[in-house]
Structure 1
Amino acid sequence: MNFYKNLKLSTRLIIGSFIAIFSMVIIGSMGILNMNKINKSTNYLYYTTIKSINSINKIDKNLLNIYEAEEVMRYIKDENELSKLIKEIDNFMQENLKQIEIYKSTIDDNEERKLFTEFENKLHKYRESGQTYEKLILSGRADEAISKSSNVAKERNDMRTKLDKLVQLNEEWAKEVIDDNTDTYNKSFLMIISIIVALVILSGLVVFLIGKNIKKSLASIKGLSHRLSNYDLSEPIIITSNDEFGQIGKGLNRVQENISSLIKNIIDSTREMNASSDELSSTVEKMASKFQNINTSTKEINSQVQETSATAEEISASVQEVDSSVSVLSGKAIDGSNSAIEIKTRAAEVEHNSKIASESTRDLYIEMEKEVLKDIEQGKVVEHIKVMADTIASIAEQTNLLALNAAIEAARAGEQGKGFAVVAEEVRRLAEQSSAAVGNVKFTIEKVQEAFENLSVNSSKLLKFMNDRVVSQFETFVHVGEQYERDGVFINNMSEELATMTEEVSATIDQVSEAVQNMADMAQRSSENLNSIQQNVNESTKVMEQVEYTAQTQAELSEKLNKMVEKFRI
């Protein structure tokens, strides 16, 4: 039975056809042989038995005609009439000789040959007696001829007896031939009927086994297509035979395993994408918060710079006032001393504010540098997402190819593969949607990478600007404040000598005025640069908001893809 299961369907059909053809050949051969036998018997019956009986009948008829002619001769006196009758008798005898030769050609039995030889002898004696009888009649010795007629009658009766035996013998042979033909017919009929019955049973068994195997295989394939139409990939098809249906079943199982493996990979990749999207969203939120802090700190620095600028303007006004009063410093030493004290106090305030601003700016720079570098490093997760997106794109392409192979296998399955074709089309559509979604994700990731690159460049510029310009300017503010404080002390100590040192004080005031003006200019430039920094930070914040929106969109796409693949039972 296992050997039969391992046979291909085409081989089984060939075997069934061969059995039918072989049986037909046997039936045909037997029919031909028996018909040939019946034909030979029929030919024998015709060319031997019937032909022999026909010849005997003709001989017997001719003998009867001879007998009648001889009887008529008794009463005819006319010689011409007698000659005519004798001639007829001779013709009948010649005809009998021909029939005798025909009969001899049909003899194939010794008993018949012996019996016919005896008949020929009797016929020869009968002919001699008849000729004697005819001569007596012609010579006018009718009475003597009549006395001889008893011998002629005896010879004729003996001859008729032999003919009857020959007829009986041929009839027996004819009956034997007919019996043989009937027996041959009956045997052939029974044998052909037996072979036909055996062929019908064997053919029915073969058809039943083939039909049962086809029905079972088609039922398994139909069950698989029904399960696939319901997104069920958990149960393989079970076909134990190695025929074409078994090969189709194994091929469909491989397709199902490949689709199941592919769905698992899609599920795993979707989960990783969800995790990466959540991580990216969290990182973007943190970076947005950091940029908000940077924006706030920049505003505070800008406010402090503006305050410093205002202070510098006040100092500049005071210096101008001192400069205008230099001509009367000699008479106002006390006022100069008070002014020097006030200058000292303001210089100390400027120094204090400059140190605070410088330290705040340096701390902010260090913190911003660490946080920005950390956030930029975290932003490199986008590269991993891009790799995953490429992987998903490759998986989607493989899904499309597998869906095409599945459609081909379904087309081979025919009507039973329609359900599997629907699933293959759904998988192909899913692969195309996945590919489109991955394309959108890759496009968004490229935008995110571009935003991160712009952010990295702007952050580097901001840090460089703060390190090279803002910090150094605040250090200059501190040095100027310290110098300004020393000048105030000097003015306070030397207020008594103002009259004599007016030129030196005037020169010093000019230097202070120039330094204050430079400080005011630097404060103005710092304010402008801080405004530019704030604008860049705002743009970066908008970019991060776009990145956050993209991450959310990617998470939604991943969730949608996850819901689609969750339909499958693996």
Structure 2
Amino acid sequence: MGLKNLKVKTKVNLLVGFLLMVTIVMVVISMMNQSVSAKRSRQALEETIRNDYDNNVKNQVENVISLLENIYSQYEAGDYTLEEAKAVSAELIRYLSYGEDGYFWVDTYDGVNVVMMGNETEGTNRMDLVDVNGFPLIQEIIKAARQEGGGFTNYWFPKPGETNASPKRSYSLAFEPFNWVIGTGNYTDYIDNIINTVTQEEKNEFNSSIFRYTIIFMIAMAVGILISFVMSRDINTAFKTISSYLKTLSTGDFTVKLPPSYLTRKDDFGELAKGLETMKESVARLVNSTKQEADKIIDVVGYINQNMHGLNDNIEDVAATTEELAASMEETAASAEEMSSTAIQIEVASRTIAEKSQEGAVQVIEISKRASKSHMEVKETQEKARKIGDEIEQKLQKALEQAEVVKQINILSDAILGISTQTNLLALNASIEAARAGEAGKGFSVVADQIRLLAEQSKNTVSKIQEVTKEVMEAVSNLSESSGSLLDFVSNDIAVSFRRFSDMTKLYKEDAIYMDDMITDFSATAQELLASIENVIRAVEEVAQAATEGAMGTGDIAEKITDVTGKSSDVMKQVESSRDSSEKLKKEIANFIV
């Protein structure tokens, strides 16, 4: 069964029951958390106590090791022999103690006891000693001591004066120079006693908390049940009263009233009661107003019915006139369309003329630019040609002057030729004199022959130089004649041609400017003509459009009038239907008692 099918009282009771269940669950969870917290607290306490115990016994053994290291250093210094050092160490350890009953013992690596508070155990081998559980405690103590940093050993051993074994925990550390194991320990059952005491106290506190929670919960549950009973009864009574009030209103009786106590309530039921009372008054006013308006509607329907007959007659006359107007507008639209078509053709021709004029103007501008550019280029080229001619003339004159050096070479060659002839004669005379000298002049004869050969070679070389010089002089003469002809051509013929071409480009530019002015005027005229034609076309199109729209509008008016005629008949039918509905509404409203 869904919640929507339950009574409000049942829903309230279910809500209270659910809240009570949630409260119970929360209390149980809280108690469980408290138990877990107590357990963790006991574990932390036990761990702290045991760590403190371990640190204490370890520190005590390390203190003894420090004492032994001091004695061993005296042995190394020569103050004691090894046996004396061991004896002194054993005697000191034997009487060392800490706390109430803390003491130390010493065993060798072989298990022989060295120190045990001076009793009969000293000097005996304890390697095979086991506790009540068969645990070889001496072997494990020695094994733990010889580890790095020593170690702890747990075992069971009777306390002095007792036969039952108790848990004991020792710490042992080896002293390598003596092969000793120094140990100490104590019974740890006191730790268990502390933990058990704390555990019992926490259990007592937990049971006390459970008792308190139970009492508080029972009281809260009783109060909650009482409050839910009172609230559900009040809600149920209010719902029944308002439900009865609504049933009476549904029958059409608006004279019924809610009890004044509900209208003065400050809760949701009070707001609901005020809203229902306001709604009842509004509906009552609506019923009275509807009665009055129904009477008025019946009167208006009769008046509308009378006027609709006259309206139908007027609409038929307007429809006939509108059809005639539509025919005239269609004829006007057809004539306007013909005018628009002709004007468009004229516009196309004018636009073509204007476009061609614009293109011609652009070409003329380009021609004018090219003419100006050509005129400037001719001027620049003419100036460059003049400068090049002057430069060639200067360089040629300088080259001809430098060519005079060739004549000096020819003169020097003649001088060298004369010198070589004289040298040859001197060499010949030297050879003759050497021959006369006999053996003494042989070396001089060889030198004279070499000089003569050198003179002959110089003569031949000079002859070749004179031939080359002659050819160079002829070439220079030809170059001088050719350069003169070239300079004359540049100064006369080319200069004249440049002047004529410059004059021609100037005239070419003036003609282009004239054509540009003429085409610009023609283009402006064409643009004005095109603008005028466009205005004419626009006006004709507007006339045609207006005529067409007028024809369409009058046609639509005629159709609308026909539709209005049909609609007016429908309106008359609806008016009759409204009058019938008003009569029925008046009968239905009569059922309400206000």
- TM-score, length basis structure 2: 0.28
Higher normalized helix content (fraction of residues): 1
Higher normalized strand content (fraction of residues): 2
Higher-Rg member (1/2): 2
- TM-score, length basis structure 1: 0.29
